[in-house]
Structure 1
Amino acid sequence: MGARISRDQRKLPPGRHGIPADQVADDQRGRILDAVVTAVGRRGYADATVEDFVSGASVSRKTFYQHFANKQVAFLAAFDDVADRLVTAVHTAYSAHEDYVSSAREALESTLRELAADPDAAVLGIVEVFAAGPEALRRRGEIIRSLTEVITEQTRNFPQTALGASFTAETIVGAVLEVLYNRVRRGEAEQLPELLPDLLFCVVAPFIGEDRAAEERAKAQRIATS
């Protein structure tokens, strides 16, 4: 699964090994979630099956159902895992800088790099979430709300935009997600880091103006090509 740090790298040896039962269970659950990401990323939510998850994780169907009630519950757990990594990266970036531009640059760079490193996870978290039912969409909405709040807080000292900081932040988050959706759906997840300069311009321009945003875009382009 690309460069994602797979739980398979910590896979326990088969047979009797004297490892505590809770550690075995954690390993099984992690391998199932890896298999969900792979299957959904490559086949789509509608066509992915529990059998795909079972075979991909090298566990029995009985073991699968000990951890997850059904396919959707397993998907939601995998989605939460992918989303938590991305949201944590964004929150870390915004908490590391008082300057909004620096925060936005680092948050975008981390997000794009993470998605590019694991195209299957990008498909699951950005595209296939729309196929997984109301609960998946509710969780996606919570993520949008969380990211909107982060940007609103970070830009509270800027002059108010015509539409207000919160609405502007919500628009920014929605626009970035739409761009990511289109690229990932076209199979271009690995090229996402190339979007950094242009996305940075769009994210910061409403708050700092187009002239300075253009300077930041040019700076990001120079760094990318150096």
Structure 2
Amino acid sequence: MTTARTRSAAPAGFRQRLLAGLAESIAERGYPDTTVADIVRLARTSRRTFYEHFSGKDTCFVALITETNGEMIRRISAAVDPAAPWWDQVRRAVGAWLDIATGEPAVTVSWIRDVPALGLLSRQLQRDLMENFVTMIQTLTDTEELRAAGVGRASRPVAIVLLGGLRELIATTIEDGGRIDDVRETAVTTALALLGPRG
């Protein structure tokens, strides 16, 4: 029997299946070579259902990247104990970031490399994602423990440098066939240097 509750839950379920289908296709073929037909095949649904949720492949991609980055920010934030020593907080945040990239390398690289090619959709999406990460970094560095250690809230320029550096390190490592674990200590050491006490 179909209830009002199952009917209202169905659209969200189809939407998530479509996003998962896109993520799977990106892992298989890359975003540029992915088609709507690939997405619906992997989502085990129809083109009609796809177009009930998205106007095209690019809007589906924007939704995937937005949701993926939102989840990434939640997981990084949850990994940090604000009462831990400052260096441990930084290490845990960077470690969580790298673990997520390791778990979803294709989507991570697609976020970094394919989003700029979206044209009009690209600029606002990039700015929104950057602002979300800058806010996360500033929030994580604005704690009593960090202030007591002489660290304090990261400035916007420092947060942007950290974000850009980690993104590029992750992308080039994956593209070159390397392992994220091979650059883990470099990423952590660099973040500690950027965010650590001054003077």
TM-score of the aligned structures, taking structure 1 as reference length: 0.71
Whether 1:203 aligns to 2:166 is no
Aligned position for 1:127? 113
Aligned position for 2:166? 176
Pick from 132, 143, 153 the counterpart of residue 143 of structure 1. Answer: 132
Task: Identify if the C-alpha distance between structure 1 residues 183 and 168 changes in structure 2 by more than 3 Å, giving closer, same or farther.
Answer: same
CA distance in 2, matches of 1:69, 1:156: 47
Q: Which amino acid aligns with 2:42?
A: G
Pick from 60, 69, 78 the counterpart of residue 46 of structure 2. Answer: 60
Unaligned runs of 5+ in 2: none
Tell me by how many angstroms 1:31 deviates.
Answer: 0.9
| Cα RMSD, aligned residues only | 2.7
3-state SS, counterpart of residue 24 of structure 2:
helix
Q: How many residues align?
A: 189
Map 1:73-88 onto structure 2 (within 5 A).
73-88=59-74
Provide, for residues 151-196 of structure 1, a one-character-per-residue CA deviation record: whole Å limited to 9, x for no partner.
54244445479xx9413333222211221121133344xx213322
Alpha carbons 2:95, 2:188 under 8 Å: kept: no
Pick from 180, 193, 208 the counterpart of residue 181 of structure 2. Answer: 193
**Identity across aligned pairs (percent)?**
22
CA distance in 1, matches of 2:79, 2:197: 19
Alpha carbons 1:41, 1:124 under 8 Å: kept: no
Pick from 82, 89, 112 the counterpart of residue 98 of structure 2. Answer: 112
Alpha carbons 2:90, 2:188 under 8 Å: kept: yes
Tell me by how many angstroms 1:208 deviates.
Answer: 4.5
Aligned position for 1:9? none
Aligned position for 2:36? 50
